[in-house]
Amino acid sequence: MTLSGSATAFATPPQALIVTLQPETVRAYETYVSQTEEQLKKSLQSKEPSLWPNHSREGVLRGEIKTDRIARQAVEGGLIHDWIGSVLIRDKSVEDVAGLLTDYDRHKNVYPEVTASRVVQRGENRLKAYLRLRKKHVLTVVLDTEYDVTFDSPAQGRWQSWSRSTRIVEVSNPGSKDEEILPVGRGHGFLWRMNVYWNLVEVPAGTIAECRSISLSRGIPFGLNWIIGPISSELPRESLAGVLRATRDSLAD
């Protein structure tokens, strides 16, 4: 950020950055997710199941972390961010990787954005999880998030998981005596909703982990693009790449 940008940041009234999530924004996100999930079901049932159709795995097999934006769609009152990525977890089985992804009690020690985590409820092929996230890009925002997670192993050497956010609230003054949980749908709006889809496929070199993240954030109001624009465009990609890297590195021998 430039010095002039920093000065503007301090001059921007905090209330100008606080917004309320609108019902029509949620409906647009739910429609997008519903249509995407129908496509994903077909893709995962194909002969070469993948969240990333027609994508070459050559670079991933060489050890690269691949990320790409599927869509950045403006809707009434918000933005939908659809990102996908993949990484090779070398010399690890699908069971090894799946074990980490479903061990939410451990996530606070693995993923940089997660400061607290736990499994709230566990059932057969299903669980409910809680994560406290600390997202930093120009501004720092702390969020309490809850998810409904389903997972399945449809064939030998394969595993998939769908995680859908059920509650996301912003935390004011986190960790202090003045900590306050803001009302649902009220806050800076950097993350209103988030669904995460994993597809694990075992290959001779290890396991390829594909992850697709579909999130909802606030729109960018006129005059605040300089501060909200970079967060909106870069944060989803940085978060996804960080998750893939941490998953790989935490399982490294």
Segment 200-229, tens digit of pLDDT: 999 999 999 999 999 999 876 555 554 555
Give the pLDDT of residue 53.
72
Distance between first and last Cα of the chain: 38
Distances (CA, A) of 231 to 26, 79, 125, 140, 189: 20, 12, 35, 10, 11
Give the pLDDT of residue 34.
97
**132-144 pLDDT, tens per residue?**
999 876 678 899 9
Q: How many Å apart are CA 187 and CA 235, to the nearest integer? A: 17
CATH architecture label of 19-250: 2-Layer Sandwich (3.30)
Identify the band that residue 9 occupies on the pLDDT scale cut at 50, 70 and 90. very low
Mean pLDDT over each residue of the chain, to the nearest integer: 87
Q: What is the DSSP string of 174-243?
A: TTSTT-EEPPTTEES-S-SEEEEEEEEEEETTEEEEEEEEEEEEE---TT-HHHHHHHHHHHHHHHHHHH
Give the pLDDT of residue 100.
97
User: CA dihedral defined by 234, 236, 32, 72, rounded to 10 degrees?
Assistant: 10
**60-118 pLDDT, tens per residue?**
999 999 999 999 999 999 999 999 999 999 999 999 999 999 999 999 999 999 999 99
The domain segmentation of the chain, as residue ranges, is 19-250
User: CA dihedral defined by 168, 174, 178, 180, rounded to 10 degrees?
Assistant: 0
Distances (CA, A) of 196 to 33, 56, 212: 11, 21, 6
Res. 8: pLDDT tops 60: no
| Selection from 80, 96, 69 nearest residue 28 by Cα | 80
Q: How many Å apart are CA 211 and CA 144, to the nearest integer? A: 22
Q: What is the DSSP string of 118-145?
A: EEEEEETTEEEEEEEEEEEESEEEEEEE
